[in-house]
Chain A
C-alpha cells in the first residue's frame, strides 16, 4: 500500500468516526427530548438539580459578570475616547453584556462547573453499577438522571444570564462612576435609554440554549463514560470541551439568526 493510500484510508476512518460520534450525540439529544414528555416525572430530582445548577452557580456567574462589566467599560472608554464618543460607554457596555458577554461567559462558566460535575457524577454511577441498579429497580436512567438535569439547566440558565447581565451592568457602572468620571444618574439613564427588549430577550434565549447544551454534554459523556478513574476523568474533560465548543458555535448561529441584517 502506498503512503497516499494509507493517508486516505486513515483520513477516511477519522472522518467516519467523527461523523459517527456526531450522529450518536445528536441521537442522544433527540432521545433526551423524547423522554422529557414521557411520564413518570421526577419533580424532586428536578428541584435538586435547579438548586445545584441554578442557585449554586450564582456566585461564579455573578463574579464573572461583575469583573467583565468593569473591564468592558474600561475598554470601551479607551476605544471611544479616540473618536470623542465617551458618552457611548454606558449603552455599549450594557448592550455588550446582555447580548453577548452575559450569556456566553455565563454559559462557559456554567459549562466548567456543571458539565464537569454532571459527567463525573453520572460516570461514577455507571462505573459503580448504579445505572444498572436503577434499571433493575424499574427506573429509566434517561428519565431519572438526564431529563431533570437538562430541564433544570435549560430553566436555570436564563435566570443566571439575567442576574449576570444586571451584575455586569453594575460592574460597568461602578467603574464608569468611580474611575472614568461619569455622573451616576446619567450613566444609568444612558444605559436604560438605549437598551431594547430584544437585546435582553435574545440573551435569555441564548442562555436557555446554552443551558440545554451544557447539561446534554454532561449527561452524554457521563452515560458513555469508560471504566475506572481514567474513564470518568476522560468523560469529564470531554463534557467541558464539548459544552464549550457547542456554546461558542451556537452563539454565532443564534447571533446570525437574531441580528443579521
Chain B
C-alpha cells in the first residue's frame, strides 16, 4: 500500500535521507521514530509528494511518485500543529477538500458531514462554527484529525500527533488514532518521538538513524530490544551511541 525504495534527499550539503527503503501493507500501522533532525518529517513529505526525493521511488495507494493534488482523495494527513486554516470556521476546515474537490459538496451537506466527523473525534456540534483561534491545542488536533478522515481515505499520515499536548490529551489522541485507523481499515504512517504513541498506535516500528531505517520490526519488540541505539532512544537515555549534541 505504501512503499519507499532507496529514498535519498539532501538539502545543500546536508544528506538527510541516504537510502530509506520500506513497505507498509494494507491495514498496517507503521510508526517511524528517530531523533530530532534525522529526517522523519522529510520522509513524510516525500511520501506525500510535498518534497521530491533526489533519488528513489515512492508508491502510495497504487500511485507512483504521486503529486499531493493527485493523492488527496486517497490520503488524509494530520499535521504536527494541526495546520488549520485560520480564516475559516471549523466546519469549513473539516470539509475543505470535499467542498472544493470532485465531490463539490454544497454548504448544507458539508456542514452536516463536518458535524458527523467532529462527533467521531469527540467534539460537539457547537464546535463547528468556532474558528481555530478559539480552540485549545487538543481541540485543534481533534479537528485536524476530523479533517484527515473527512473523505474516509484508505491511507492516513500523522506527523507528531501528540506534540505539545498534556499526557491525558496525548492518550486521548492516540486512542482516537487507533480507533479511526481500525474503523477505516486504513494503512497508516505515524511520525513520533512519543513512546506511548509507539505502543498504542503502531503495529510495526522503524527507527530512522543516520539517514536510513536502522531498525524495523514489531512495536512490542522495539520497546524490549537490546540493541544499544534503539534502547537509548526508546528509554530516553543520555548515555549511548546516539550523540546528544546534534
Chain A residues at the B interface, C-beta cutoff of 8 Å: 40, 42, 48, 125, 128-130, 132-133, 135-140
Residues of A within 8 A of B68 (CB): 135-136, 138
Q: Could you tell me the distance in whole angstroms from the C-beta of A40 to the nearest C-beta in chain B?
A: 7
Residue in A40, A42, A133 with the greatest tally of chain B CB atoms within 10 Å: A133
Asked if B22 is at the interface (CB within 8 A of a chain A CB), the reply is no
Say how far B56's CB is from chain A's closest CB, in angstroms. Answer: 20
Determine how close the nearest CB of chain A comes to the CB of B61; give it in whole angstroms: 13
Q: Looking across the interface, which residue of chain A has its beta carbon closest to that of B41?
A: A129
Give 16 A-B pairs besides A135-B49, A139-B69 with Cβ atoms closer than 8 angstroms: A40-B100, A42-B100, A48-B87, A125-B86, A129-B79, A129-B81, A129-B83, A132-B45, A133-B83, A133-B85, A135-B68, A136-B50, A136-B75, A137-B96, A138-B69, A138-B72
Q: Which residues of B contact A139 (CB under 8 A)?
A: 69, 96-97, 100
Chain B residues in 8 Å Cβ range of A135:
49-50, 68-69
A40 to B77, CA, bound (A): 23
Measured CB to CB, the closest approach of chain A to B151, in angstroms, equals 9
**Residues in B neighbouring A140, C-beta threshold 8 A:** 69
- Asked whether any CB of chain A lies closer than 8 Å to the CB of B73, the reply is yes
Task: Return the CB mask of B14-53 against A: 1 if under 8 Å, else 0.
Answer: 0000000000000000000000000000000100111000
- Which residues in A have their C-beta under 8 angstroms from that of B3? none
- The total of Cβ contacts below 8 Å across the A-B interface reads 54
Known pairs A132-B45, A132-B50; A137 contacts B97 (CB<8 A): yes
B72 partner residues in chain A, CB cutoff 8 A? 136-138
A133 in contact with B69 (CB, 8 Å): no
B80 at the interface (CB under 8 A from A): yes
Interface size bucket, B side? 20 to 34
Smallest beta-carbon distance A72→chain B, Å = 39
Taking CB atoms, residues of chain A closer than 8 Å to B49 are 135
Report, nearest first, the 6 A-B pairs whose CB atoms are least far apart.
A138-B72, A133-B83, A137-B97, A129-B83, A135-B68, A136-B77
Q: Does B71 make an interface contact (CB < 8 A)?
A: yes
What CA separation (Å) do A40 and B100 show in the bound complex?
9
- Return B8 CB to nearest CB of chain A, in Å: 21
Residue pairs across A and B with Cβ atoms less than 8 A apart, 14 shown, are A42-B100, A125-B85, A128-B83, A130-B85, A130-B86, A132-B45, A132-B48, A132-B50, A133-B77, A137-B72, A138-B100, A139-B96, A139-B100, A140-B69
A140 and B101 CA atoms in complex are apart in Å by 11
Minimum CB–CB distance from B102 to chain A (whole Å) comes to: 9
CB–CB B73/A136 < 8 A = no
Closest to A135 in B: B68
Taking the nearest CB of chain A, how far is it from the CB of B98, in angstroms?
Answer: 9
Selected from B45, B71, B79, B87, the residue in CB contact (under 8 A) with A133 is B79
Give CA–CA (A133, B100) in the complex, Å: 14
A contact residues around B97 at 8 Å (CB): 137-139
- A138, B79: Cβ atoms under 8 Å? no
Contacting residues, chain B, for A136 (C-beta < 8 A): 48, 50, 68, 71-72, 75, 77
Q: Which residues of B are found within 8 Å of A133, using beta-carbon distances?
A: 77, 79, 83-85
